[in-house]
Structure 1
Amino acid sequence: MFEDVKNRLRGSIAPIITPFDTEMEVDTGTLKSLIDWHIDSGSHGVSVCGTTGEPSSLSIEERELVMETAIRAARKRVPVMPGTGSANQKETLHLTKRAQEMGADAALVIVPYYNKPNQQALYNHFKTVANSVDIPIIVYNIPGRTGVNLEVKTLARLAEDCPNIIGVKESNKDFEHVNRVLLNCGRDFLLYSGIELLCYPMLAIGGAGHISATACVAPKEVADLYNYWKAGEVDKALDLHYKLMPLNDVLFKETNPGPLKAAMGMIGKIHPAMRPPMEMPSGKLYDEIKETLKTYGYLESINQ
């Protein structure tokens, strides 16, 4: 079941930022341009309203707007995997059903944050969400943001009991944990890295790809990391892994997506803005981001 979708959902699934205009409203025109840029640059898919998309700063109506804009802009050229989860199950169910109605290829559903459910509660939550729709569900485990880790045994129960739970985005620095995901859920279970420095290592253990925020600045390179690996050009993949490391590091010196949005503003892709209480980086970090982009040649075309 879902074999065709599983094949299409491999590679670099770029987590798109939510652009705001000068009035701090969602800038749908820029969002459409970003989708086109990612597709032209080789991203294998796109995701909106994940962590990088600032969903906690958006209303439910705005999240629906972002999802619909992305799905329409993609025009089936690549799969779209919107983030539909929240700390509120009713909201999660609503957004996941809306994603299905809009034609999303899959839904990325985060472990509920702040309220820290136990493992049985997490199982019940994800099973309820999965049973409410027919589209594939990718579980999103990011314990550094949610305050709770979805344990491998819980995920394995979900994979066995819910046929449309077909994968997981692991923003989990515990590499032993992510190895055990494929051991317990099966090696055809889609495992994505959400940790930039683990994108390459996860491919080596059988991962399906990555959902890396760095793709928002370097979509071609992050896609090529997967392409090289798939083509068996391991040395090229490894070289690219290390080449991207300084960029990965600087983009996460403050909470994502602040440094990322600053970088995207520098390369002329967006009006760089975050909604309060989050703020854009400034001072020393701003300068460091700019200098890092220069070393990669990303500012040459706009004379910065």
Structure 2
Amino acid sequence: MQFSGAFTALVTPFKNNQIDEEAYRKLIEWQLEQGIDGVVPCGTTGESATLSHEEHKQVISICVDQVKGRVPVVAGAGSNCTKEAIELTRYARDAGANAALLITPYYNKPTPDGVVEHFKAIAAEVSIPFFIYNVPGRTSLNVMPDTIARIVKEVPEAIGIKEATGNLKQVSDVVEECGPDFVVLSGDDFTVLPLLSVGGHGVISVVSNIVPNMMHSLCKAYAEKDLDNAKRIHFEMAALCRAMFFETNPIPVKTSLVLMGKIQPEFRLPLVPMRPENQEKLKVVLKDKGLI
């Protein structure tokens, strides 16, 4: 499996407080038809924090079954409890995911040594390729490039990182310290193009839930050295990227998919429907881009 290009951090559709399997399968199939390079179930955008363990496993299984090997499936399986992360990672492997996405421990705020030992412990129990997910805006922990390099040296299963700091110097340092084969994916839709320019490989994207072909095309254009086209797409998506953060992710992107007729308007508390004034702003952007 090639872990490069545009990967969608899939939303999880709900209906009557249950996983809406039909809508989820249709969304995945549409993503594939639109040319997406990979999918990520059970990430932050998939409201993983409010899924039960059984629901978490159900979402991964549905995704793997629907994809049927056509693109890589990178399953969210992290936790701030190492034992829990091992359990979820084991299930991701057994369900047939191609890799796991493991967030750095949040709330606990471990030392660099603790971060390294966390990932070593997971790999010792479950051997599956995994991506470190560095998102200090949600974890209050920024794992620095020298710590990432330690993990890569000590844990062969650590094949890449989802870098969501938006800090291009830090991304460049990760590429420099970990080498060109370490797969660096953006976790920040605003910085995909500049991340590619310093040796990144692609993105795990929020906005590609609604414009999968556009994000795929940006990554493809850059890979083909068509920089003018890549830059054009970057700016064409800019307003949509901003709109996806009018409120906390995934509220705007799920609302967009509701307006596009793809899912039901349902969130898990503590997330609630978008404020009416922000939804009106969102509609303006979606209409301008021809999505509704």
Tell me which interval the TM-score lies in, with the shorter structure as reference length: over 0.9
Partner SS for 1:160: helix
Report what 1:9 is aligned to: 3
Q: Distance in 1 between matches of 2:276 and 2:260?
A: 18
Is 1:291 aligned with 2:284?
yes
1:41-96, CA deviations, whole angstroms, 9 ceiling, x for partnerless residues? 00001001111001111111100000001001100011100100012111110010
Correspondence list, 1:91-110, <5 A: 91-110=84-103
Match of 1:152 among 125, 138, 145: 145
Q: Distance in 1 between matches of 2:62 and 2:69?
A: 13
TM value normalised by structure 1: 0.94
Match of 1:211 among 204, 208, 211: 204
Task: Count how many residue pairs are aligned between Structure 1 and Structure 2.
Answer: 292
Report what 2:12 is aligned to: 18
Partner SS for 2:174: helix
- How far the C-alpha of 1:114 sits from its partner, in A, is 1.5
Q: Distance in 2 between matches of 1:271 and 1:20?
A: 7
Correspondence list, 1:1-304, <5 A: 5=1, 8-21=2-15, 23-299=16-292
Partner SS for 1:211: strand
Q: Distance in 1 between matches of 2:76 and 2:265?
A: 22
Q: Distance in 2 between matches of 1:73 and 1:249?
A: 30
Q: Distance in 2 between matches of 1:39 and 1:131?
A: 33
- How far the C-alpha of 1:134 sits from its partner, in A, is 2.3
1:187-218, CA deviations, whole angstroms, 9 ceiling, x for partnerless residues? 11100001111111111111110011000010
Counterpart residue identity of residue 213, structure 2: K
1:256-279, CA deviations, whole angstroms, 9 ceiling, x for partnerless residues? 000111111000111021111111
**RMSD across aligned C-alpha pairs, in angstroms?**
0.8
Partner SS for 1:82: strand
Sequence identity of aligned pairs in percent?
36
Counterpart residue identity of residue 36, structure 1: E
Q: Distance in 2 between matches of 1:130 and 1:152?
A: 20
Q: Distance in 1 between matches of 2:12 and 2:79?
A: 17
Runs of 4+ in 1 over 6 A off after TM superposition: none
TM value normalised by structure 2: 0.98
